[in-house]
Amino acid sequence: MLCPTAMPPVNLQTGLQSTPKSANYCALVKPGIGAALENLEGNVESWRRSDKWADMEMMAMGATAFTGQGTGKSPQNCMATGQYTDTLQIQTNAFHRYDADLGQVGIFLEPKLAMANHSCIPNAMVQFVGRKAILRAEKPIKVDEEIEISYTDYTFPRPKRKHALAPYFFDCQCPRCEKDLNVYQVCAGSPIINTNRHSLVADVGKLGKHPAATDPTKASTATSFSEQLSDLIDEKDPTLSPEDRRRVLRARYHQCKGLTAENFWAVSPLPQLLTEVSILYIEESNFIYALTTACFVATSSEPYRHVLPYHPIRIKGLLLVAKLLANTAADTASLGNSQAVASKGDINQRALQTLQDIDQVSLCQMLLIMIIASVPRDYVREWEVSATAQQMLDEINELPGRDQELSLINAWKENPEGEQARAFFEYAVVKQVDSLANLGLEILEMDFGY
């Protein structure tokens, strides 16, 4: 696990609030919070010229009225006094915390962390653990090198990133933006590709040699398709029935034919679409299909988007695979007699045979160990992902009759760089996940490609 000494995990003072409005109230009634905001940029003049200025005025007036500090003042007076620029400072400097299912669940504001500048190829990231924010390195950081984080999802196409950065009133001039690099090109230039030796990637050497990185024509094609299809990234309707969602996902998959035909699986909106497909399979209780799809995403998509093996998104992908293995390990026998298997024939039989040939419990156990090892030790029980992994691992450790498997797994855990441990990891984890991922691609084409 990469943990550069120049950038150890840092526990920052929590400042989590549910909305910008509630954070604004706190800034007005708690002098310490208001004082901490004084030196932060508020972009007042830029906000004043934007079409959001009236909204900012109303928010400031509401906050001052609610706290009893501005009753009767017009919004213009609230903003003009200079006392209420807290609203703009919060809007400019707060981190918005999102949940995949609930959307925005809170904002986090910490003055020191807010001083970090943006890059679409950052060397650090902010990871939320409970009510704490941890600043972690994404790559080695030299002494006196500026720490940069990303204010938005840096894997999105450039127009979508530019739109997301608009409230900060600057144009990003990082290499990804200046050269309009796609995810494969950025991955190829990463100095940490080799850290994926301890990941699910079957051939680490290929990470930096994807055709979309080495062939200018294919690189241009990837960028063009991603920009044309960018509206699909956020298209979700949770009210749809599984049948209607399947129909919509199939239509979107066909819209992405230009990407799938070139094997541009890491280019948005394909990763988002594949995640939705996995969720659909889970809702349909088709855990084998969900597992193979999740393995395909974990090996053919996410390593190019987030090169760092312990990036939270990749770790969440590991947990999804581990959870699905827990289901398939228990249900493989019964699924073998299911109507779905009988009706679709060959690929289902091969999927079942592949699973029956895998020690699913050991594979699940090793993935859980990888998850826990990726998190700073003091936070394992606090981050919901690693806490869940620890609970699952504790349950597996209670299973009887696994002495031989445990001896091999423990030897790998203690010395993952050892020759025998490396060979065991390649066979027990990488090879098995790769075989499931290959099935995942076949299943996607069979189920959504026609």
Residue 29 pLDDT grade (very low, low, confident, very high; cuts 50, 70, 90): very low
436/355 Cα distance (integer angstroms): 8
Residue 362 CA to its chain's centroid (Å): 25
Task: Say what the pLDDT of residue 349 is.
Answer: 86
Task: Say what the pLDDT of residue 273 is.
Answer: 96
144/303 Cα distance (integer angstroms): 29
Residue 43 scores a pLDDT above 50: yes
Sequence-ordered alpha helix ranges (H) in 135-286: 158-165, 175-178, 183-188, 211-214, 216-228, 242-255, 257-260, 270-283
Residue 169 CA to its chain's centroid (Å): 25
Residues 6+ apart with CB under 8 A from 189: 208
Task: Say what the pLDDT of residue 424 is.
Answer: 96
Task: Say what the pLDDT of residue 437 is.
Answer: 98
Residue 448 pLDDT grade (very low, low, confident, very high; cuts 50, 70, 90): very high
pLDDT digits (tens, 9 = 90+) for 83-119: 456 566 666 666 666 655 545 556 777 777 777 889 9
Q: Which amino acid is at 405?
A: E
Task: Say what the pLDDT of residue 199 is.
Answer: 96
Task: Say what the pLDDT of residue 6 is.
Answer: 33
pLDDT above 70 coverage of the chain, percent: 73
pLDDT digits (tens, 9 = 90+) for 270-304: 999 999 999 999 999 999 999 999 999 999 999 99
pLDDT digits (tens, 9 = 90+) for 167-215: 887 899 999 999 999 999 999 999 999 999 999 999 999 999 999 999 9
pLDDT digits (tens, 9 = 90+) for 149-173: 998 999 999 999 999 888 887 899 9
Residue 60 pLDDT grade (very low, low, confident, very high; cuts 50, 70, 90): low
Q: Minimum mean pLDDT among 113-122, 334-343, 409-418: which range?
A: 334-343
CB 370 within 8 A of CB 362: no
Partners of residue 98 on adjacent β-strands:
104
> Which of 351, 326, 354 is closest to 341 using CA atoms?
351
Residue 347 pLDDT grade (very low, low, confident, very high; cuts 50, 70, 90): confident
> What integer best gives the mean pLDDT of the chain?
82
- Backbone phi, psi, residue 128, to 5°: -90, 130
Pairing type for strands 117-118 and 148-149 reads: parallel
Residue 36 pLDDT grade (very low, low, confident, very high; cuts 50, 70, 90): low
41/93 Cα distance (integer angstroms): 8
Estimate the crossing angle of helix 360-373 against helix 312-335, to 10 degrees: 170
96: three-class secondary structure by DSSP: strand
Residue 47 pLDDT grade (very low, low, confident, very high; cuts 50, 70, 90): low
Residue 35 pLDDT grade (very low, low, confident, very high; cuts 50, 70, 90): low
CA distances, 118 to each of 50, 104, 122, 385 (Å): 21, 21, 7, 26
pLDDT digits (tens, 9 = 90+) for 224-280: 999 999 999 887 787 899 899 999 999 999 999 999 999 999 999 999 999 999 999
> Which of 153, 208, 206 is closest to 185 using CA atoms?
208
Half-sphere exposure of 59 (CA within 13 A, CB side): 20
pLDDT digits (tens, 9 = 90+) for 295-307: 999 999 999 999 9
CB 137 within 8 A of CB 4: yes
pLDDT digits (tens, 9 = 90+) for 359-386: 999 999 999 999 999 999 999 999 999 9
Pairing type for strands 117-118 and 95-99 reads: unpaired
CB 236 within 8 A of CB 276: yes
Task: Say what the pLDDT of residue 342 is.
Answer: 46
Q: Minimum mean pLDDT among 23-27, 89-93, 211-215, 423-427: which range?
A: 23-27
**pTM score of the predicted model:** 0.82
Domains of the chain: 10-164 (2.170.270), 193-448 (no CATH)
289/303 Cα distance (integer angstroms): 21
Pairing type for strands 132-137 and 124-129 reads: antiparallel
297/274 Cα distance (integer angstroms): 7
Helices and strands (DSSP H and E) totals, the chain = 25, 8
425/202 Cα distance (integer angstroms): 11
Q: Which amino acid is at 201?
A: V
Buried b (16+ CB within 10 A) or exposed e, 137-150: bbbebeeeeebbbb
pLDDT above 90 coverage of the chain, percent: 60
- The H or E element containing residue 179 is none
Q: What is the secondary structure of 39-50 as a DSSP string?
A: TS---HHHHHHS
| Stronger pLDDT, 61 or 323, i.e. the higher one | 323
Task: Say what the pLDDT of residue 110 is.
Answer: 73
